[in-house]
Amino acid sequence: MKLLVPVKRVVDYNVKVRVKADNTGVETANVKMSMNPFDEIAVEEAVRLKEKGVASEIVAVSAGPSAAQEQIRTALAMGADRGILVEHDGVLEPLVVAKILKALVAKEAPQLVLMGKQAIDDDMNATGQMLAALLGWPQGTFASKVEVANGEATVTREVDGGLETVTLKLPAVVTADLRLNEPRYASLPNIMKARKKPIEVVKPAELGVDPAPRLTVLRVEEPPKRQAGAKVASVQELVEKLRNEAKVI
């Protein structure tokens, strides 16, 4: 069984994100970049499925600038077999990425697309669902447990009310949540081996996808700083402040 695992290049989660001076976006120049943490969890789960003998090949894919090969190499060092980079220097919106992945699915014919539930840069949480809709495949989102057997994937999902278990007929799309697993650290020998694993580079146009954005960012601003709290002397004063100052009652 072949697995397709998309990985995204994002600002490292340990870095404090800064807004550009012209408020057109966030600062990425000279900023440490890394693989999206949820995608890293998806790669780990794919490798575990391969170690169990469920999967035979893992293809790590990314869409973005040439530098995104670094994140693909990380996936290869974790255990993926080969990589594909859809190279594009501009903004790639979730719908465009979903269309790119649909084209790659048609090319690679995987039985399971395993990806992070969302990226930590835009928090869209949309690409996996859009991909499943475009493919007409069943989907299991926010997965905290995945079991694959007999042509089906049993996915335990994290929902507001607790946990929900769904059974999907393969092929399917599954998006990984935080508690699915804890990703491994790539060993030095595997990092060295990853340098020799192939990465295919293609352009969106070669896949028949128009990468032009359909959304317009008007302005990016930092959230307002939290104000200091205040003590009140009585319940009556608290109610008065909530009614007249905070205007929440």
Domain spans, the chain: 2-223
Q: Tell me the backbone φ, ψ of residue 191, rounded to 5 degrees.
A: -65, -40
Nearest to 57 by CA among 108, 102, 127, 1: 1
Q: Which residues of the chain have pLDDT under 50?
A: none
> Model confidence over 180-205: pLDDT tens digits?
999 999 899 999 999 999 999 999 99
> Model confidence over 99-131: pLDDT tens digits?
999 999 999 999 999 999 999 998 999 999 999
- pLDDT for the residue 136: 97
Helix (H, G, I), strand (E, B) or coil at 134: helix
- pLDDT for the residue 229: 83
Q: Hey, which CATH number is domain 2-223, 3.40.50.920, 2.40.50.100, 3.40.50.620, 3.40.50.1220?
A: 3.40.50.620
Nearest to 118 by CA among 36, 28, 14, 18: 36
Between the alpha carbon of residue 51 and those of residues 56, 79, 146, 179, 234, the distances in Å are 9, 9, 14, 20, 62
